[in-house]
Chains A and B, each alone.
Chain A
Amino acid sequence: MIKVLAACGAGVNSSHQIKDAIESEFKNRGYNLHCDAVMIKDVNEEMLSQYDIFAQIAKTDFGFEVKTPIVDAGPILYRMPAMAKPVYDKIEAIIKEKGLN
C-alpha cells in the first residue's frame, strides 16, 4: 500500500479535503493508496519516515531535512479538476519512479 501524509494547521478541513481527494483519485487510477491527515505541529522526522509521499499545503520548514518526497498539494483545495490534475500526476510520477505500487 502507498502511504501519503497530508498535514494542515488544525488537522481538519484542508488536510482532510486533500486526503479525500487523493484517495478518491488514486482509487480511480487503480492504486492501493491510503492518506492520513494530521496537524502539522504533530509532524516529526520519525512520522514522515513512515510515509512514501508528503502532500503539503504550503511550504513548511520543519527544522530537519525531509527525506520523504514532497508534493505541493494546495491546488487540490480549489476543487478545480484542471488545477488538481498536475498534483495527482506528480504523485503518480513519484509512485512509478520509486516503484511503490
Chain B
Amino acid sequence: MSAESNLFFEDTVFVCDRTTQEEVFTEIANKLSLKNYVAPAFLENIIEREKGYPTGMDMSVVDPELPSFAVPHTEVEFVHTRRIVPVKLTTPVEWHSMIDPSQTFPVSFLFMILNDDKEAQVGILAKIMDFVNALGTDRVKELFSMTDAKAIYQFLVDNFPAD
C-alpha cells in the first residue's frame, strides 16, 4: 500500500512530550501550519472546540484493557488537506469524553482528523473505530506504546484499511 492510497503520511506523524492538551495542540498545530496543512485559525478553533465538544473515546466500555484515545478535529474551513495525523503522547494527557464530557481519562494517542472536504469526510471516524476494534487490545497497546514516528507510520500503513 502506498502512502498516497491511505490517510496517513510520513511527514505528519508526531511524537509529543507536552503534558497538557493546550500545549499538545499548540505544538502540533504549529507544525501543521508550517506545512500549510491548516489555516492560521486552526489552533484557536481546535482548542475551543475541544473545550465545548471534547473528542475522547473511552474504550474501557468496549474492553477494560483497551487503551482510550482521542480524535480531535475542527470544521473543514480551518483545514487544507485530508489525512489522519497520529500523535503519540509520551506523557498521558487527561481528556474529556465525547459521549459524556463530565468524564475524563488519560490518553496517550491521538488520531487528529484533518479534512477539507465536508462531503468526503464521512467515514474517517468510522474507519478509525473499525481499525481499533479489528486490531484487538494487544496490538492497540503495541501501537500506542510506540515512541518512534517512523515505526508508528509503518504500523498504520501496514494495518489501516485502505481509504
Contacts and interface: CB of A to CB of B under 8 A. Distances in A.
A78 B66 CA distance: 13
B74 interface: yes
User: A interface, by DSSP: helix, strand, loop or mixed?
Assistant: mixed
A61 B119 CA distance: 28
Size category, B interface: 20 to 34
Given A77-B125, A78-B61, A79-B129, A12 B100 contact: no
B126 A57 contact: no
Interface of A: 8-14, 16-17, 20, 39-40, 57-59, 72, 74-75, 77-80, 83
A58 B99 contact: yes
B98 A57 contact: yes
Contacts of A75: 99
B57 A13 contact: no
B123 A58 contact: no
A79 B80 CA distance: 28
